Structure 1
Amino acid sequence: MTEEKVTLKGSGLTIEQVAKVAREKAEVEITSEAMDRIVAGRNLVFEMAESDVPVYGFTRGVGLNKDRQVVARYYQDYNRNLILSHCVAVKPEASEENVRAILLARLNTLLVGCTGIQPAIVTMYKDFLNHEIHPVIPERGSIGEADITCLSHIGLAMIGEGEVFYKGERMLAAEALRRAGLEPIVLGPKDGLAIVSSNALAAGEGALLLKDIADLIDTADILYALSLEGFKGNVSPLNEAAYKVRPLPGQAYSAKKVREYLKGSYLWLPGVNDTLQDPLSFRGSCHVHGSVRDALEFVLRFMDYQLNTSDDNPCVLVDEKVMFPCSNYEVTSLAIGFEMLGLALSHLSRNACFRTIKLSSPKFTGLSRFLTPADTSVIAYGTIQKTFTSLDAEVRHLSNPVTVDYYSLAGEIEDHASNMPIVVQKTAKIVDNICYILGMEAMHAAQAIDLRKATRLGKGTKAAYDVVREEIPFLEKDRNLTVDIQKAYEIIKSGKLLDAVKKAMTE
């Protein structure tokens, strides 16, 4: 567990902080000003409880049952039933790091102060994170108009029912609360809806995914640079002047980084490359990677809104002393953004596959077929193309949009949906596949560099090459490449390669 705490106030939460809490188990604390807003919202709820004003999910039911009255003496039973009736999600279960991100995302939006939830529940979110109590949350079943079917399992744990992981051990929620010295929550007016009605599942998982995608693009730039050295590629497409003429931000940034990674490389020597133009998969890689960067900027903007504003329905405004129905749970812009990211990543994936195929082709490289060290006795990378192209086919399939596939539900009054959790989860699978694909590109690039006997590598590419060779030796004789592929995947997925290059660039 990291010693640094993350302070929450309902604003300013970043994806880097989400990753710190989710993956490094940083503890969280809440500002007194944020808790004051929670108390004020709760006081307004009790004021309205004594009035005759009908309020959705509070003095009236939810969904089609919005016409059913909820009387004060049944608040606890009604809210417990609301939690239980919404526990309808199915496996797979969210990982513990995803659960932490989900808890954090919901906690910060509660602190905006537009919910009216009781302060004890807000404190319970914090306690769950700091005591490492992670509710078992099935990931599938949400249509993205608030993740009610999944987040209800958090409420289940808070009232001492269902299962959780406590410091890594799976057990009944009641037992985990007992061990942590916590009391189960007694639900009151509006509490059930406040727990279940947010987009925290998609937001938490999506925030972690955006951090991974940012790292993935940086890694893709590094491996493109490494492949250029293995390919003995033409560096003219990296010329800074081209990006001043056409200053698209993403591609200009990627080109700048690739130039930095290749600083000191033999590729900059005069007369190295005798081809006028390389294949598009090499010539335009910075432009393709830049498209992913541009898409990412769009999604980061809307993720910032999602993490730091209220998506509650009904909306509680303390100063105006009102509580009214709204559609702030609507996340179509964010869902569409993740769909765009999936499409952009599919271009990056396909481009990497074509670069890797070209690295095995003598007519482009001047090296041996399939990068074999011995034409007549070693097959080398003659079969591996099937693996990375198969994974790319999955990427292509996963990049198809799903956000427009929805039904009219709840007596046909809920006739729009975003499917954002599905969009986020399929984009996460795209990223995982690309980690394998980039890993296999790294294997080819290092093999080509060795066959070419290229010893003068760039500052960044030399660090990347060394990481690859620490795990995967030169392919001198045929061996079980499944083992090599997994090792390559792990140095990409873990960030080991990216970290090594970043360190080298600062030395």
Structure 2
Amino acid sequence: MTPRHPKLAAVNLGYRGMTLEQVHEVAVHGARLDVTQMRRERVRRASSVVERALKRRRKIYGLNTYVGHLRDREILPEDMVDYQYQLLAMHARGIGDPMPVQDVRAMMLVRIVGMSHGGSGAHPDVFDTLIRLLNAGIHPIVPQGGSVGASDLTQMAAVGLVLTGRGEAIYQGGVMPAAAALDRAGIECCQLRPKDGLALISANGMSIGTGALAVVDMERLSRLADEIGCLSLEAIGGNFEPLHAEVTGAKPFEGQLAAGKHMRESLSGSYIEGRREGASVQDPVSFRVMPQVHGAMREYIAFARNAVEIELNSSGDNPMVSLRSDDLISNGNFDPLVLGLSFESVRLALAHVAMLSERRINRLRFHGIPAGRMAAWRLRFPFRPYAGPSVHSASALLAEIKHLANPVTLATTLVNPDAEDHSTLAPQSVTLARTLLHRLQTLLTIEAVMACDVLGDAPELPILGVGSLAVCEAVGNVTTATGEDTSAAVFCEALRKRLFET
């Protein structure tokens, strides 16, 4: 996927921390990255710490010793530089399809931000070359699989190889050897120094970068889930009372307050706004508890946002360069468990939103059929005229979503019993969340179509709220654009992209 035109000409990496929205701008929209002299100076100072540490001849992991189970074996001085290239080659063993370009850009940006804190000890030439690659649009071919969430070693190694002129990259729309891409862009291959290879791979770039993109997408989904749920409430002539500020404020979770407020805004001007009674004294639970369930989703998205922002603007290098003590410190900051667990939690919250949506879809499909008279009604009207996605599709999606919500971080195994005996599977947790998110987008799209179908049966379209009306208009626009003969699958995907990606 080619980055779109940026909303911002450039994103500045300076005194303030990087935001998830800025990651989205650089990764998805292709914004240029500018780095201040303050950040560059910090990288230079950290690199000087590494040089001085080498002269002291103290054993330092990955600098003058090997890594993993060979960590106590020293490297001869004449082999230190060559070993940094070996680190890239031995870890670039990922599997699976190439990551999308926007994910690779996010990963590259995360490593640049991490290096700019000074904890990596990377040489300024490595830092500068990585920035130039990102801004030139040279995107390494990075396999999706292979990381266990204790630094995304395999993915980061694939990026590191391209800096040195090895591996493959996408440049100007074509896949080519990295050396050719660098030559066309006028960028020299990077010459590694001691610590540079480890600095390139010792980062959770995939987990943090894709996590940042996921959070931005989830926050957009949370708003649309409210609006689509409100549209369904209008379609059945439901009750407005459960959305009252007094009701949501009686249990003041921040997420519930935000969801209730947004739903009231979405229904502003609606024919049901302020109405005390609906078609029924009390609507089904899937309609009544929207503020509570959608609020819970917001709570856990906020948890995930906080985890990603802290990881993004921190140092996860091992060993970590300490500018304060002028030394390198062995540590475990490469373990992003909070991030991994935050995406475990958010998948459960998203699944509950999906459960409500699927129940509302079922209610909409059989709207107008009197309770207890289903069999008799079907004799008269076997099927309502309807050409959109079916309730069967919604049910199948919900089954997938529930499966994707299952925990993954506990499935870790021993990689190296003498060294790597715990990992987080954070990248798998994020990947499952993004897959689940896509399924939920499709499920909510089906709900929007069903609600519009029910409203279309009315003799006259009632006055809708401003938020739900925007959803209804999107359905109408895509219906017109795709035409009557379009399959339900093509129509549904076109509408999903219109609602969630534009």
Cα drift, residue 483 of structure 1: 3.0
**2:173 and 2:481 mapped to 1: Cα distance?**
39
Which ranges of structure 1 fall in alignment gaps of 5 or more residues?
496-507
Secondary structure of the 1:6 match is strand
Q: Does 1:115 align with 2:135?
A: no
2:306 aligned residue (289, 301, 304): 301
What corresponds to 1:436 in structure 2? Answer: 442
Amino acid at match of 1:387: S
Q: Does 1:450 align with 2:456?
A: yes
2:64 aligned residue (59, 63, 69): 59
Cα drift, residue 427 of structure 1: 0.6
Cα drift, residue 180 of structure 1: 0.7
Percent identity among equivalent residues?
30
What corresponds to 1:206 in structure 2? Answer: 211
What corresponds to 1:79 in structure 2? Answer: 84
Cα drift, residue 137 of structure 1: 0.5
Q: How does 1:393-472 map to 2 (within 5 A)?
A: 393-452=399-458, 453-472=460-479
Distance 1:246 1:151, change over 3 A: same
Secondary structure of the 1:316 match is strand
Q: State the superposition RMSD in angstroms.
A: 2.4
What corresponds to 2:38 in structure 1? Answer: 33
Cα drift, residue 383 of structure 1: 7.4
Q: How does 1:214-229 map to 2 (within 5 A)?
A: 214-229=219-234
Q: Does 1:277 align with 2:276?
A: no
**2:193 and 2:487 mapped to 1: Cα distance?**
60
What corresponds to 1:103 in structure 2? Answer: 108
**1:377 and 1:415 mapped to 2: Cα distance?**
58
Amino acid at match of 1:356: I
Q: Does 1:16 align with 2:21?
A: yes
TM-score by structure 2 length? 0.93
**1:214 and 1:233 mapped to 2: Cα distance?**
26
Secondary structure of the 2:187 match is coil
Distance 1:462 1:379, change over 3 A: closer
Amino acid at match of 1:438: L
Q: How does 1:98-497 map to 2 (within 5 A)?
A: 98-268=103-273, 270=275, 273-362=278-367, 375=381, 379-380=385-386, 384-452=390-458, 453-472=460-479, 480-495=487-502
Distance 1:229 1:199, change over 3 A: same
Secondary structure of the 1:29 match is strand
Asked if the contact 1:447/1:474 (under 8 Å) is kept, the reply is no
Asked if the contact 1:313/1:325 (under 8 Å) is kept, the reply is yes
Residues 276-304 of structure 1, C-alpha deviation per residue, up to 9 Å, x if partnerless?
21111001112111111000111111111
Asked if the contact 1:115/1:316 (under 8 Å) is kept, the reply is yes
Cα drift, residue 52 of structure 1: 1.7
Cα drift, residue 337 of structure 1: 0.4
Cα drift, residue 270 of structure 1: 4.5
Q: How does 1:43-58 map to 2 (within 5 A)?
A: 43-58=48-63
**1:270 and 1:357 mapped to 2: Cα distance?**
25
**2:222 and 2:448 mapped to 1: Cα distance?**
14
Secondary structure of the 1:102 match is helix
Distance 1:207 1:277, change over 3 A: same
Cα drift, residue 177 of structure 1: 0.3
Asked if the contact 2:111/2:203 (under 8 Å) is kept, the reply is yes
**1:269 and 1:411 mapped to 2: Cα distance?**
64
**1:422 and 1:188 mapped to 2: Cα distance?**
32
Asked if the contact 2:241/2:276 (under 8 Å) is kept, the reply is no
Asked if the contact 2:236/2:279 (under 8 Å) is kept, the reply is no
Distance 1:361 1:57, change over 3 A: same
Which ranges of structure 2 fall in alignment gaps of 5 or more residues?
none
Cα drift, residue 474 of structure 1: 13
**1:365 and 1:90 mapped to 2: Cα distance?**
55
Distance 1:38 1:280, change over 3 A: same
Amino acid at match of 1:286: P
Distance 1:361 1:172, change over 3 A: same
Amino acid at match of 1:132: G
Secondary structure of the 1:92 match is strand
Residues 43-95 of structure 1, C-alpha deviation per residue, up to 9 Å, x if partnerless?
11111111220000101111111012122211221111111000111012110
Question: What is the number of equivalent residue pairs in this alignment?
Answer: 492
